[in-house]
Structure 1
Amino acid sequence: MKLVRFGAAGAEKPGLIDADGKIRDLSGVVPDIAGEVLGRAGLERLRAIDPNSLPLAPEGSRYGACIGRVGNFIAVGLNYADHAAESGMAVPSEPVLFNKAPSCIVGPDDTVLIPRGSEKTDWEVELAVVIGERASYVSEAEALDYVAGYCVCNDVSERAYQIERGGQWTKGKGCPTFGPIGPWLVTKDEVDTSDLAMKLSVNGELVQNGSSNTMVFKVPFLVHYISQFMILEPGDIITTGTPPGVGMGMKPPRYLKPGDRMEVSIAGLGVQRQAVAAG
């Protein structure tokens, strides 16, 4: 099942994608793709609906962020062995965790804004995990029971803020528009995360062409691990790291500028297309 939020920014409605790839309006059934709707009972209720019984969304509707009311937006750093190598950093012995501000979340095709004064805004295609059930101290064996599904995330990053300004990485990760997610939330029964092709192009040039199979810490372990340090609530997002090909790793480094265009995709999870503009 592919769940979406569609419509004008700030006024998105819940929807699902039918067999013809069209958006069906779920606003008469649930208030949003958020919270308890993402739990096992909520998803089973949606699966029982005949999509053809739902009204079609207006043609050309904007895709919003596929999850509403996100509480925690947690990211995992250096979680791909080949990306750690291009960054000149060692593979960590435990997951590196940091937060992206939920206020940075935007739709998959919304404009990405370069922060004022930034000279090192970078791109990162990532597999994002969406929590469906409240998770605290869960075992690795049971971790996927707490997952609703997966989506594409572009973990946009300002490298000078992240690395050169002292303190933690968070300050380079949560700027406005730095968290495009979607277009869809794909429920976990339709996704095998072991070997998903992950791609990102800038101005038509393929710069990231990797796979989730080089992920160091896999999804079940990450959900288990993070739940030892905090309570994960339905609708929380964990974005799990990026394969190589980021601008910081190029020689010389290359960063985004106004007028650039990105295309971001993960097999089975859809495609994002973002223009870049000055903030």
Structure 2
Amino acid sequence: MNKTLIGLAIGGLLGIFDIFPAHSRFLFASDTKDYMHLAEIAIDTAAQISVFEKAGKILKAPEDALTLARFDKGGQVHTLAVLEDDGETIKGIDLSAELGRYDQNSFDVIKGLEFDHIVELTHTSTRHVSLKYTDLLPSVGGDTHLAIGINYAEHGKETGQVRPFMFPKYVRTDPAVHELKYTKGWLLDHEVELGIVFPKAVCSAAELKGMMIGFLVVNDFTDRATLMRKMDSQNVASGKGFPDGKSKEGFLPTGPYMVVPRDWRAFVNELNLSLSVNGQQRQHGSAKDMVWDINKIIEESLSVKGEKKSYYQDKMVNLFEGSCIPANSIIITGTPAGVVFNAPSKGFIMGTVFKYIFTGGFFSSKMHPYILQQYLKEEMKNTRYLKPGDQVETTISYLGTIKTEINE
């Protein structure tokens, strides 16, 4: 921005000299037409610098991180090495066409290749492609994922929980330009989250050393009404109710691309998460503030060996299939503070306890479920929950933006 202003100032000054040529003799001895030409060059150069700086903030250079998007061409899935992104259109190299690989997963397209070899392809290939965001497939496919709840301390405070826990999420991914069909009776909440993906099954945390890891932005949409009806209020960490409240169609849009950094540990510390509704920011946080870092997430996930540790549709289910974390499925790592749902206040709880006692609520229900159901009724009045017409933008540094429209 400063360089742009400088360019405009130089252009304006040279323009003044053209209007008042008598003053220009103190600076130049050439024709005044040259001044306007210099002004145009200065303005154009400054504008180009500004565009470059903006693009640099959107994407990492391929030498630092590979940015991979997926698109359909003639019924085949192609992987694009993204080199430019202006927020509406991306440009890059068609790696699938270059390599003759049309796998469903981007990691399979680059399987067996060294990082530097892929970087070289981005510089030497002539297979340039330009795509609109609306042309993109979900950056990662699949319909079975592992989620971490309460992985940011401030989010734990607002929801009344103190430690992370795990649960599965069963829903197919959606692309970055996303329409979510609203169902009456939902308490639709938003959660900007960092997703991580592995190119092969991970059976120990030690395998992370030297492994490529993919990162993407996701929105872990939640129907709090379903969650509250099904959750165990005395043991929230059991995960009961979470898969049901988070596994509805349209509840997992992905960013426009998956990013594979050369140094993923340093990369994570640069990631800032944000979410806005109708242009107003609601969530903001940093991935470096996760309670469980990526190593801890892997350790905790593998410690259960995929055993039945959660509930979905009133049945106990595995956190994931097998004893290793599956390849090409998303681990959804938690959301920072700023969601719509907040735990009931002490005042609400005390008032509901009195109501429970003096109206004979104890004859038909246990206290904890009673309080939860009363709070559900109260939350139905909360106008901050998402509704038809709302526009949600979900962003993480270098990982792009999801644009969601809530429809009837």
TM-based fold match above 0.5? yes
Residue 46 of structure 1: CA displacement? 3.5
2:48 alignment partner in structure 1:
none
* Maintained 8 Å contact 1:156/1:178: yes
Q: TM-score when scaled to structure 1?
A: 0.85
The answer as to 2:158 corresponding to 1:86 is yes
Question: For 1:71-220, what aligned pairs fall within 5 Å after superposition?
Answer: 72-89=144-161, 91-92=162-163, 95-103=164-172, 105-114=173-182, 116-136=183-203, 138-139=204-205, 141-143=206-208, 145-166=210-231, 167-189=240-262, 191=264, 192-220=267-295
Task: State the secondary structure of the residue aligned to 2:155.
Answer: helix
- Alpha-carbon distance between aligned partners in 1 of 2:295 and 2:275, rounded to the nearest angstrom: 25
2:118 alignment partner in structure 1:
46
1:273 alignment partner in structure 2:
403
1:225 alignment partner in structure 2:
300
- Alpha-carbon distance between aligned partners in 2 of 1:241 and 1:54, rounded to the nearest angstrom: 40
* Maintained 8 Å contact 1:86/1:244: yes
Residue 224 of structure 1: CA displacement? 2.5
2:154 counterpart letter in structure 1: D
Q: TM-score when scaled to structure 2?
A: 0.60
Aligned residues: 269
Query: Which 4+ residue blocks in structure 1 deviate beyond 4 angstroms?
Result: 144-147, 250-253
Residue 262 of structure 1: CA displacement? 0.7
1:31 alignment partner in structure 2:
102
More deviation, 150-159/207-216: 207-216
- Alpha-carbon distance between aligned partners in 2 of 1:207 and 1:48, rounded to the nearest angstrom: 40
Cα distance, 1:41–1:110 mapped onto 2, change above 3 Å: same
- Alpha-carbon distance between aligned partners in 1 of 2:122 and 2:110, rounded to the nearest angstrom: 19
1:67 alignment partner in structure 2:
140
1:84-137 CA distance string (max 9 Å, x none): 101122x22xx411111142x1001121222x333301100001111122211x
2:185 counterpart letter in structure 1: S
Unaligned segments of structure 2, at least 5 residues: 1-65, 232-239, 306-322, 344-378
The answer as to 2:336 corresponding to 1:243 is yes
Residue 233 of structure 1: CA displacement? 2.4
The answer as to 2:75 corresponding to 1:13 is no
- Alpha-carbon distance between aligned partners in 1 of 2:302 and 2:108, rounded to the nearest angstrom: 21
Cα distance, 1:36–1:53 mapped onto 2, change above 3 Å: closer
Identical residues among aligned pairs (%): 28
* Maintained 8 Å contact 2:96/2:109: no
1:31 counterpart letter in structure 2: Y
1:225-267 CA distance string (max 9 Å, x none): 2123232222111010000011113995621111110111111
Kindly indicate which of the two structures has a greater share of residues assigned to helix: 2
2:309 alignment partner in structure 1:
none
1:113 counterpart letter in structure 2: K
2:129 to 57, 75, 100: 57
Cα distance, 1:12–1:261 mapped onto 2, change above 3 Å: farther
- Alpha-carbon distance between aligned partners in 2 of 1:56 and 1:35, rounded to the nearest angstrom: 17
* Maintained 8 Å contact 1:71/1:102: yes
* Maintained 8 Å contact 2:171/2:249: no
Residue 65 of structure 1: CA displacement? 0.9
- Alpha-carbon distance between aligned partners in 2 of 1:184 and 1:130, rounded to the nearest angstrom: 12
Residue 7 of structure 1: CA displacement? 4.2
2:387 alignment partner in structure 1:
257
Cα distance, 1:178–1:144 mapped onto 2, change above 3 Å: farther
1:158 counterpart letter in structure 2: D
* Maintained 8 Å contact 2:82/2:93: yes
2:316 alignment partner in structure 1:
none
Cα distance, 1:269–1:36 mapped onto 2, change above 3 Å: closer
Residue 48 of structure 1: CA displacement? 4.3
* Maintained 8 Å contact 1:38/1:131: no
- The CA RMSD over aligned residues, in Å, is 2.7
1:197 counterpart letter in structure 2: N
Task: State the secondary structure of the residue aligned to 2:300.
Answer: helix
Residue 145 of structure 1: CA displacement? 4.2
